A and B are shown apart, each in its own frame.
Chain A
Amino acid sequence: MGWWRWGFLLLPLAVVAPFLSDYRLYLLSWALVFLIPGIGLNITLGYAGQISLAQAAFFGLGAYTTAILTLHDWPFWLALPVGGLLAGVCGFILGFPALRVKDHYLAMVTLGFNIVIFVFLRNWRELTGGVNGLTPPRPTLGALDLSGDLSFYYVILVVAGVTVVSAQWVVQSQWGRAFRAIRENEIAAAAHGVSLRNYKTLAFALGALYAGIGGGLFGALLGYIDPEAFSLARSLEFLILVVVGGLGRFAGPFLGTLVVTVLPEALRAFGSLYLVIYAALVLIIMLFLRQGLVLVLDGLLAVGRWLLKGSYRAVRYGTPGD
């Protein structure tokens, strides 16, 4: 069990929020919005082993669907799940090419899909506003106005909490096991009755669903979206997020999110050098911690356990829960 425990991780974030400066609160909101598609991509790529360079496309589909619907006076609480579902259905469809191609070929297919969605968002001006973008509103709940920075932060936090708990349930279920079986050995998985069609499309659909939900929050957080936010560069950012954090480990996207959202801000003091330092740091992480930053966490946990109990127990890579 323990699938709900990860939800507690977000509790301190609820407590500290009122004491943060506007800037820090915004940064934390931004990080939580990125955590959601990160957790999604970790299911597709980390657990099921299916490379996807289309996460930004699903992020965009969710953002635009939610924005368009709320601008047509749909309640945010309906528009957000609809945006997630639409992205999820597109992810399901994109799962079918994954039945025919693998690895870098699959990367090319998903990359192409991202470009198609990008062009579609930019050129269908009547629907998407083209390069001018859209200005989605923030939600209300009955008479309660949730558009303030702090109250919208709590909206994001709740959705992130649901994401974390539900994703943890999935990866600990037999679905999660089937995903890992496919990642580790497709032939063996099929020989033991695992339907590659069902589980690969599911892995894509789930990853895209979370991306779409994150996208809906992203639009409302910024109050403005344009196609540039959902280009291939953003997909690469999500890829860095899950790889640097640690693929197929539940803690991976949490750490990866910090690298992608908080680290660049922390390096801002270096001015124009910041990108160089950022790239160098990411490179160093990947060179020395190939399994990602979760290795640092494993080390710290092992030391902590040793200090507390005097016993050392290594955390096994790929353990579903951690």
Chain B
Amino acid sequence: MALLEIKQLKKYFYDIHAVDGVDLEVQPGELLGLIGPNGSGKTTLFDCITGMQRPTAGQVVFNRRTLIGLTPDQIARQGISRTFQVLQIFPEMSVRESMLMAAQEFQGTLLTRLLHRREDAAVARAEHLLRMLGLWHMRAESAGNLSYGQQKLLDFGMALMGQPSLVLLDEPASGVNPTIIGSMGQYILDLNAQGLTFVIIEHNMDFLMSLCRRVVVLNQGTQIATGTPAEIRANPAVLRAYFGG
């Protein structure tokens, strides 16, 4: 049984077919790469899964429940978290509080969020993640004062705070320095080994190909290839999509 099932998903912006009939299954524990030239519909696909865009047609099923018609926050609480290609952070919150913010809606009820003030588990989890990402010394700093690379790492950390079962990463490595990319990749592999499922959009091919066992290629809103990194590298349709001809 697939964790995430996308059937004939379409998203049209007037006559632009951003996503044009994508079928995709993500198995539990998978580490799936999603590549394609600019404008091939990768981010729009993420937007349709997470409820940020309403698909024109098609089905998205997660854990046997349809996600179509749910709001982004409802989908997040189903266990899907994501990062954004264009950073989405809380600039005036401290790094530490951003992490707690990313956790608080996943436990308790609306009433306990008013009445209960202790969040020891989230605090411990935030410390662990911030140390791992090398942001612990910045914990009291406003998120808006971090460098771009640090903000990407913070966004990545925040995506993990809600203890999701599926994480969608939209270009996690862009703008991040190579040493940190390496440790981020290792951390993704560790989490994946513990059973967490990832779908990763990335233009950094070395990074992506070293992580993923399966890669899906989109072009002009449709899936043109799927396979292991080695198969994808050798696929003529993929080469045509990227380099023309």
Name the interface residues of A1-27: CB closer than 8 Å to any CB of B: 1
Known: A174-B114, A193-B77. A180 touches B92 (CB 8 A): yes
> Which residue of B50, B71, B93, B106 contacts A181 across the interface (Cβ within 8 Å)?
B93
- B92 touching A317, Cβ below 8 Å: yes
A318 in contact (CB, < 8 A): yes
Contacts of B142 in A (CB 8 A): 316, 318
- A177 touching B101, Cβ below 8 Å: yes
Query: How many A-B residue contacts, CB cutoff 8 Å?
Result: 93
A289 in contact (CB, < 8 A): no
- Interchain nearest-CB distance for A168 vs B (Å): 12
B68 in contact (CB, < 8 A): no
Tally of A interface residues using CB under 8 Å: 27
Contacts of A188 in B (CB 8 A): 84, 88-90
Kindly name the residue among B73, B84, B100, B114 whose own CB sees the greatest number of chain A CB atoms within 10 A.
B73
Contacts of A191 in B (CB 8 A): 50, 52, 72-73, 76, 81-82, 84, 88
Contacts of B93 in A (CB 8 A): 177, 180-181, 184, 318
- Interchain nearest-CB distance for B130 vs A (Å): 16
- A190 touching B90, Cβ below 8 Å: no
- A178 touching B101, Cβ below 8 Å: yes
B240 in contact (CB, < 8 A): no
Kindly state the separation between the CA atoms of A189 and B158 in the bound complex, as whole angstroms. Answer: 11
Contacts of B73 in A (CB 8 A): 189-196
Kindly state the separation between the CA atoms of A195 and B109 in the bound complex, as whole angstroms. Answer: 12
Chain B: which residue is nearest A187 at the CB level? B88
B91 in contact (CB, < 8 A): yes
The secondary structure that dominates the B interface is mixed
- Interchain nearest-CB distance for B84 vs A (Å): 8
Contacts of B114 in A (CB 8 A): 170, 173-175
- A180 touching B71, Cβ below 8 Å: no
- Interchain nearest-CB distance for A165 vs B (Å): 14
Kindly state the separation between the CA atoms of A190 and B158 in the bound complex, as whole angstroms. Answer: 13
A272 in contact (CB, < 8 A): no
What string of 1s and 0s marks CB contacts (under 8 Å) between B168-207 and chain A?
0000000000000000000000000000000000000000
A198 in contact (CB, < 8 A): yes
Kindly state the separation between the CA atoms of A204 and B114 in the bound complex, as whole angstroms. Answer: 16
- B101 touching A187, Cβ below 8 Å: no
> Which residue of B88, B105, B158 contacts A195 across the interface (Cβ within 8 Å)?
B105
Kindly name the residue among B52, B89, B110, B142 whose own CB sees the greatest number of chain A CB atoms within 10 A.
B110
Interface CB pairs A-B, < 8 A, 14: A173-B114, A174-B104, A174-B119, A177-B104, A178-B105, A181-B101, A184-B93, A185-B91, A188-B84, A190-B52, A192-B73, A193-B73, A194-B101, A196-B73
Q: Top 6 A-B pairs ranked by shortest CB distance? A: A193-B105, A188-B88, A174-B113, A190-B72, A193-B76, A318-B92
5 additional contacts (CB under 8 A) given A188-B84, A191-B81, A192-B105: A173-B115, A181-B101, A187-B52, A190-B72, A318-B93
Q: Which residues of A contact B (CB under 8 A)?
A: 1, 170, 172-175, 177-178, 180-181, 184-185, 187-198, 316-318
Q: Which residues of B contact A (CB under 8 A)?
A: 50, 52, 71-74, 76-77, 81-82, 84, 88-94, 97, 100-102, 104-106, 110, 113-115, 117, 119, 142, 158, 161-162
